[in-house]
Amino acid sequence: MSLRFGTDGVRGVANRELTPELVTALGRAAARVLGTDQPYVIGRDTRRSGPMLEAALVAGLCAEGADVLLAGVLPTPAVATIARQRGAPAAMITASHNPFPDNGVKLFAPGGRKLTDDVEQAIEDVLHDLAIEVPVGREGHGVGVSAELRDALDLYVAHVVGVLDGRRLDGLKVVIDCGHGAAFRAAPRVLRDLGVDVEVRNAAPDGTNINAGCGSTDPSELQEAVLATGAHAGLAFDGDADRLIAVDETGALVDGDQLIAIAAFDLQERGQLRGDTVVVTTMSNGALHRALADAGIGVVEVDVGDRNVLDALAERDLSLGGEQSGHIIYADLATTGDGILAGVQMLDVLHGTGQRLSTLAGIVARSPQVLRAVRVADKSRLDGASAFWRTAQAVQADLGDAGRILVRPSGTEPVVRVMVEAATEDAAARAADRLVDAVTTACGPAEA
d(CA 273, CA 260): 12
Report the alpha-carbon distance of residue 238 to residue 178 in Å, rounded.
Answer: 7
Tell me the C-alpha distance between 230 and 141, whole Å.
60
- DSSP-derived pairing of the beta strands 10-13 and 102-109: antiparallel
One-letter amino acid at 335 equals T
CB environment 251-265: b (16+ within 10 A), e (fewer): bebbbbbbbbbbbbb
Active-site option among 49, 96, 325, 367 = 96
Nearest to 240 by CA among 337, 343, 107: 337
Rounded Cα distance, 41 and 49, in Å: 19
**Alpha carbons 340 and 188: distance in angstroms, whole number:** 10
3-state DSSP call for residue 121?
helix
Q: Whose CA is closest to 105, among 84, 79, 86? A: 79
d(CA 182, CA 341): 14
- Asked whether 418 and 436 are in contact (CB, 8 A), the reply is yes
Cβ-based neighbours of 335, under 8 Å, separated by 6 or more: 80, 81, 83, 84, 108, 111, 112, 113, 114, 310
* Strand bridging mode 320-322 / 369-375: unpaired
Catalytic site includes residue 284:
no
Closest CA relative to residue 183, chosen from 196, 201, 195, 171: 201
* Separation CA 328–CA 323 (nearest Å): 7
Counting Cβ atoms within 10 Å, is residue 192 exposed (0-12), middle (13-18) or buried (19+)?
middle
293 DSSP assignment = H
Residues 205/98, Cβ–Cβ less than 8 Å:
no
Residues 176 and 157: their CA atoms lie apart, in Å, by 16
Cite the active site residues.
Answer: 96
